[in-house]
Amino acid sequence: MRVEYDVTQREPRPHMLVVTVNSEDEAGVPPQTLNIPVHSGGHGKVTTEKVLDPLKRYDVYTSAVAGDPPVPSESTLNEIEPFGAAKPKLTLPQRALAAISTAIATIRGDRRR
């Protein structure tokens, strides 16, 4: 599993990321917690030893630890769907927002037509 982070805008600057990985598709396998030191520049990419099965779904909770004494932030959730999993159907407002977002990104040059 590869973790990319940028905490340069956070005050106080975190010195550690705590990443917990779990899969309901892996029966009997407990969640795994990884402590990732933050590079002094505040951003970086880390390839961990945790191997993810592309055919399974994962819940990844991340929090940043900063301060003295160290205090963790509230966890954020990222869900990793299995490769080829059907995407959920969007509601009409969500589809409209996605179309507007795509149009703006195309105009700015972030996306190619």
* DSSP calls for 4-56: EEE-TT-SSPPSEEEEEEE-TTSTTPPPEEEEEEPPTTSEEEEE-SPPPPTTS
Q: What does each of the 113 residues of the chain score in pLDDT, given as a tens digit?
A: 999 999 998 889 999 999 999 999 999 999 999 999 998 888 999 999 999 999 999 999 999 999 989 999 999 999 998 887 766 778 888 888 888 888 887 887 765 54
The model carries a pTM of: 0.70
What is the CATH topology of the domain spanning 2-84?
Immunoglobulin-like (2.60.40)
CA atoms within 13 A on the CB side of 13: 13
pLDDT at 103: 83
pLDDT of residue 110: 67
